[in-house]
């Protein structure tokens, strides 16, 4: 009985949630950029990416076409970069060499390195904030990073409307080191979810209400 009540609670939470949902970005397999000059290791080929936001932090995830661990030997300088548009994003790659990335706007980047030395770089203020090592994890072909919203203050957009784009790189140099864009010529926003504490409180309230109703129904049948 309790299992069915919990399931009903979760369904009610989702139905009553004021948050909008956005699908995970699906990226074609094997679509390395024509301008990419590095090793085409499947670990640099994005097949899906997504971001969730609970009001306090962003959780960024992505899955590659192959195991990421192999990059440590095949592409030692490999890193993963999430571009973030907080409201003042511009098409910065069009100014580089070669000129690529039309439609991809960002004003900051979350740089995730296989060495564990990751950071959030504010390109507008030329500042870099180290990301705790525990905030970046690799599991097979999947990466996950937690970015506190305090690291990425707004530049005009509400955090729930920030734009994201992911690009794996073979190194931190020229544009020809960018292996893939996900998505190719635009950005995506986060899926918004309730904070865990709010979810727990709402869940407790709904379970309590369901228990009261069940007792009342039982009493009426006596």
pLDDT in tens, 112-150: 999 889 999 999 999 999 999 999 999 999 999 999 999
Would you state the pLDDT for residue 8? 46
Query: Is 4 exposed, middle or buried (CB count within 10 Å of its CB: 0-12, 13-18, 19+)?
Result: exposed
Q: What is the pTM of this model?
A: 0.79
97 Cβ neighbours under 8 A, 6+ residues apart: 174, 175, 176
Q: What does the pLDDT look like over 29-57, one tens digit per residue?
A: 999 999 999 999 999 999 999 999 999 99
Q: What is the pLDDT of residues 174-201, one digit of tens each?
A: 999 999 999 999 999 999 998 764 445 4
Instruction: Give the right CATH number for 21-195 from 1.10.510, 2.60.40, 3.30.70, 2.40.50.
Output: 2.60.40
Three-state DSSP class for residue 9: helix
Residue 219 has pLDDT above 80, yes or no: no
**Residues 190, 60: contact at Cβ < 8 Å?**
no
Q: Is the dihedral of CA 109, 112, 113, 116 positive or negative?
A: positive
């Amino acid at each position: 009985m309790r299992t069915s009540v919990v399931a009903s609670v979760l369904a009610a939470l989702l139905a009553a949630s004021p948050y909008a949902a956005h699908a995970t970005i699906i990226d074609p397999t094997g679509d390395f950029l024509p301008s990419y000059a590095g090793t085409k290791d499947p670990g640099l080929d994005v097949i899906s990416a997504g971001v969730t936001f609970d009001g306090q932090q962003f959780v960024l995830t992505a899955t590659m076409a192959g195991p990421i661990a192999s990059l440590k030997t095949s592409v030692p300088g490999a890193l993963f970069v999430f571009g973030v548009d907080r409201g003042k994003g511009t098409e910065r790659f069009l100014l580089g060499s070669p000129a690529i990335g039309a439609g991809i706007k960002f004003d900051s980047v979350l740089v995730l390195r296989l060495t564990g030395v990751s950071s959030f770089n504010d390109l507008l203020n030329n500042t870099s904030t180290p990301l705790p090592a525990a905030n970046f994890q690799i599991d097979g072909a999947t990466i996950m990073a937690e970015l506190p919203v305090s690291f990425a203050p707004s530049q005009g957009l509400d955090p729930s409307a920030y734009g994201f784009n992911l690009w794996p790189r073979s190194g931190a140099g020229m544009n020809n080191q960018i292996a893939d864009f996900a998505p190719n010529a635009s950005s995506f926003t986060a899926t918004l979810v309730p904070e865990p504490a709010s979810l727990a409180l709402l869940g407790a309230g709904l379970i309590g209400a369901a228990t009261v109703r069940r007792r009342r129904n039982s009493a009426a049948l006596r």
